Amino acid sequence: MTDGNGSASFALLDDCDSTASARSSRLYSGFVRERVCTDPARLDALDAALAQDLRDGLHAVVVGDYEFGRSLQRAQPGHAPLRFLLYARCERLSRAEVDAWLAAQDGTDTPSIAGVAHVRKSVTRDAFGAAIAAVHDALRAGDSYQINYTYRLNFDVFGTPLALYRRLRARQPVRYGALIALPDGAWVVSCSPELFVEKHGELLRARPMKGTAPRSADPQQDAASAAFLANDPKNRAENVMIVDLLRNDVSRIARTGTVRVPALFSVEPYASVWQMTSTVEAGWHDGTTFADMLRALFPCG
């Protein structure tokens, strides 16, 4: 645990559908302290300490490095952190209130100049080709059911992180945006349309996305693109594979017989793409801790 001087730290979890009658965006402020886990063996102890923090009236925001999942699943050794940021206050805001708050922080009604430049891939074409060949070999050998191969893009940023986030959310409104000023001075700027997992009362819900088609300014072509996505065998196959994996994941912490898929192959509109989304739900098993949930679901599949 670290008690830093991160008084400027805050976390905005931003939902573009938030309204005055149903405020679903959340602004965390009044940074108190941070708990950090790099060793999965300490996760239960840290979870217990976090539960006491919540009983004491603090609010927690979890920032998880994806590579932490490698250590969690004992797939590969690593030291990627799982960070628990603890704040004294949590305000629920409508979209209009988030707009006003961001404008006040930026000092202008319209977003300040910000953007990215000099985008660079983290892999060469030869390395990319070799990795894809290895993926094909693993699938043919039956060593893997599904593989998501990714690589990083490196780029230069100009303007402030807050202004960059304002410009991103204007171009691509999403339900799961995040702007986080970390206590160490780093930032998280994220605009994601996809829900990983949420818990409401006794209900656990995941909404995996697989399958994408471009939007069109022409209404007829746009409708045709959506219809193609809804009925395309390849996209349906990819989607049902991740649904199967998520069903298996949530079953580890669900009450027996409660796992279900209430929506399969839904096609949702976004600013630039149509996205195929399915919904997996399950009943929460009594006694399950946050650490249990993390071990069962992270990384998903």
Q: What is the mean pLDDT of residues 104-113?
A: 96
Q: Is 238 a catalytic residue?
A: no
SS (H, E, C) the chain: CECCCCCCCEEEEECCCCCCCCCCEEEEEEEEEEEEECCHHHHHHHHHHHHHHHHCCCEEEEEECCCHHHHHCCCCCCCCCEEEEEEEEEEEECHHHHHHHHHHHHCCCCCCCCEEEEEEECCCHHHHHHHHHHHHHHHHHCCCCCCCCCCCEEEEEECCHHHHHHHHHHHCCCCEEEEEECCCCCEEEEEECCEEEEEECCEEEEECEEEEEECCCCHHHHHHHHHHHHHCHHHHHHHHHHHHHHHHHHHCCECCCCCEEEEEEEEEECCCEEEEEEEEEEEECCCCCHHHHHHHHCCCC
Q: Is 210 a catalytic residue?
A: yes
Q: What is the pLDDT of residues 192-247, one digit of tens each?
A: 999 999 999 999 999 999 999 999 999 999 999 999 999 999 999 999 999 999 99
User: What's the confidence (pLDDT) of residue 133?
Assistant: 97
Name the pLDDT band for 1 (thresholds 50, 70, 90): very low
Say what percent of the chain tops pLDDT 90: 84
Q: Of 210, 234, 238, 268, which is the active-site residue?
A: 210
Q: Of 67, 91, 97, 194, which is the active-site residue?
A: 194
Q: What is the pLDDT of residues 114-154, one digit of tens each?
A: 999 999 999 999 999 999 999 999 999 999 888 889 999 99
